[in-house]
Amino acid sequence: MTTPSNTNTNALPRGTHIGRTALRVTDVEEMTEFYRDVVGLSVRHRSETGSVLGVAGTPLLVLDGAGDALERQRSGAGLYHNAFRVPSREALGDSLARIRDGWRLSGASDHLVSEALYFRDPEGNGVEMYRDFPRDEWPIADDGTVRIGTEPLDLASIEAAATGADRAPTGTDVGHVHLEVTSLEAFREFYVDVLGFEVQTTVPDACFVSAGGYHHHLGANTWHDRTTPVEGRGLSWFEIVVPDRDALDAVRERIAARGVAATETDDGLAVTDADGIEVRLRTTAPN
């Protein structure tokens, strides 16, 4: 594992974080029940064509139904996993209990900065539930970047911490989004050079970037050799939330300077990366 030096002079400020993510799904009912009962989110809005789920009044996940139009298997770039961050080890224990009671766990890791559980939703989208270690315990490389590792996770101790809660607690959010991309060079050019994230860690065929010294807000990999843009079911869009209008304006200026097409929205702007993944940037909370 290597940890490259950060030379980004247009870095996004501390306080930048991931907002909502949106998935295109074929079965709204099944997917809504999964994210409610297994992930532990609460349903904020529901209709025949979609639903919005979140925690304590905060929307985190949008499910957009498109029926049989999305039945084919995804082969292009898109989502590797959505990572829901819980605020405590007890909450992670409750997550593990819900997964074991109603679903199936596919992996678990101690990443030196966090403890993580991995599984897939009914339509094959990757899901991570994790909790961070205290920030002052994260391993830091000589160049100031955060080191991320992969070690076995003591599931017995996670299970022992469970309290029996059937819902994710207040403070749960989308800690990061991990993408499958066609080119790591193009990923870095867009998310680092244009948007302003900083590289924290690289591993073979993967790159992890963040704002404000977090271990990673975005991951990207080419492990499955995706060669075509995002298509079909899976990731529709995700949000990057910046702390103030000045930060948003700085991103807008970098986007314009690079000639990247952008669409103004009610609360920010929307752009697409090299793989056609839509990224929405805003400062204020969504309705």
Predicted TM-score of the model (pTM):
0.94
Distance separating alpha carbons of residues 64 and 236, to the nearest angstrom: 8
Q: What is the pLDDT along the chain (287 residues), one digit of tens a residue?
A: 444 444 556 899 999 999 999 999 999 999 999 999 999 999 999 998 999 999 998 999 999 997 665 555 667 899 999 999 999 999 999 999 999 999 999 999 999 999 999 999 999 999 999 999 999 999 999 999 999 999 999 999 999 999 999 999 999 999 999 999 999 999 999 999 999 999 999 999 999 999 999 999 999 999 999 999 998 889 999 999 999 999 999 999 999 999 999 999 999 999 999 999 999 999 976 65
Distance separating alpha carbons of residues 5 and 11, to the nearest angstrom: 13
What domains lie within the chain, and their CATH numbers?
Answer: 17-282 (3.10.180.10)
Taking the CA atoms of 220, 222, 226 and 229 in sequence, report the sign of the dihedral they define: positive
CB-based contact 89:256 (threshold 8 Å): no
Tokens found for residue 225 = 């050799």
Distance separating alpha carbons of residues 166 and 37, to the nearest angstrom: 7
